Structure 1
Amino acid sequence: MESSHLKSLTVTGAVITVSSSRRSETDASGKALIDLLSAADIEVTHYVVVPDDLARIRAEVYVALSHATCVIITGGTGLTPDDVTIEAVAPLLEKKIDGFGELFRLKSYEEIGTAAILSRAIAGVIGGRAVFCIPGSTKAVTLAAREIIIPEIRHILTHASSGQR
């Protein structure tokens, strides 16, 4: 991609871990995500662990959007009855980035085989900010951040923020 296509912008990150069993002290995936973002010179300005509760997840997304341009929600994307991250976030998305989920599942397939179909990873835009919902495993977080989100976040935000403030 041509660098002239990118706006000069500062990317800030928010990490929301959705889990009813983890706490910040035991959140290896959240820590891995913070480390990956920091290593890419993306300051993490908001971090929290919330339980698998639709209203709490949705409320925390709005808090994170007030602190960051890139919000990554990890966990709660599977198929169990407790997994409600997608149900909480999808209705908030003004535009969906369908290619994110497709590419994430392709890359997951290369690592874990057909079990990749269990992932409901999604991404989209809310108010000119990027929002990603990814599985909660450290391996999935690392794959999504390193292979897709970090390489494309400035490109995404250049387009998403066009016409914003």
Structure 2
Amino acid sequence: MGVPEEHRRGAPSKLSYSIFVVSTSRFSDKDKEDLTGKIAVEIVEASGNLVVRKEIIPDDEGLIRASLIRAAEDSDVIIFCGGTGVSPSDVTPEAVRPLLKKELPGFGEIFRWLSYSQIGSSAIASRASAGFYLKSLVFMLPGSPDAVKLALERLIIPEAPHLIKLARG
């Protein structure tokens, strides 16, 4: 499954990624292991792509937006891991969505469908989504290592080059 071969022609073979782990608790406790960020970097690099930054940032709308704006200067793909649930501190979609010029609702729909097979009905609590900010492809994912692995391996890595090609004309 995935992109038909003719759609891959002309797509970039190597993309630059920025990965932000959105977690106030991990930001505050520098000694706490960042398994989510570690897994994201490993998967992106193993796919032959480049990670230009990996940071832990708190659940703060202003800092999330500033991170997006800064990353768009040198990143083809920007990933926010965390802050997509329904708790009061989960503000990643509220921070990012107003800046997106085009949303990709299919990403969130397919991600939740795939998640359902792994975690059952609790998949409905995810507000995972994607879109474009300037010329960068942006993904907002749950912060769990399993969710990040699923999104990267099944959706983002296979589809990002094709989406970048289409968006950049």
Residues 10-159 of structure 1: matches in 2 within 5 Å? 10-23=14-27, 26-159=33-166
TM-score calculated relative to the size of structure 1: 0.94
Distance verdict in 2 for CA 1:5–1:38, change over 3 Å: closer
Compute the displacement of 1:4 (Å). 5.4
The one-letter amino acid paired with 1:11 is L
Aligned mates of 1:117, 1:8 — CA distance in 2: 33
Distance verdict in 2 for CA 1:36–1:161, change over 3 Å: same
Aligned mates of 2:113, 2:11 — CA distance in 1: 30
CA contact (8 A) 2:107 2:130 kept: yes
Moved more, 98-107 or 20-29: 20-29
- C-alpha RMSD of the superposition: 1.3
Compute the displacement of 1:67 (Å). 2.0
- Gaps (5+ residues) in structure 2? none
- Gaps (5+ residues) in structure 1? none
Structure 1 match to 2:10:
7
The one-letter amino acid paired with 1:53 is D
Q: After TM superposition, what 4+ stretches of structure 1 lie above 4 angstroms from structure 2? A: none
Aligned mates of 1:142, 1:13 — CA distance in 2: 15
Aligned mates of 1:17, 1:144 — CA distance in 2: 14
Aligned mates of 2:59, 2:24 — CA distance in 1: 6
Moved more, 13-22 or 1-10: 1-10
Q: Deviations over 1:9-64 (max 9, x none)?
A: 23111101100111466211011000000000110001111100000000001111
TM-score calculated relative to the size of structure 2: 0.92
Aligned residues: 162
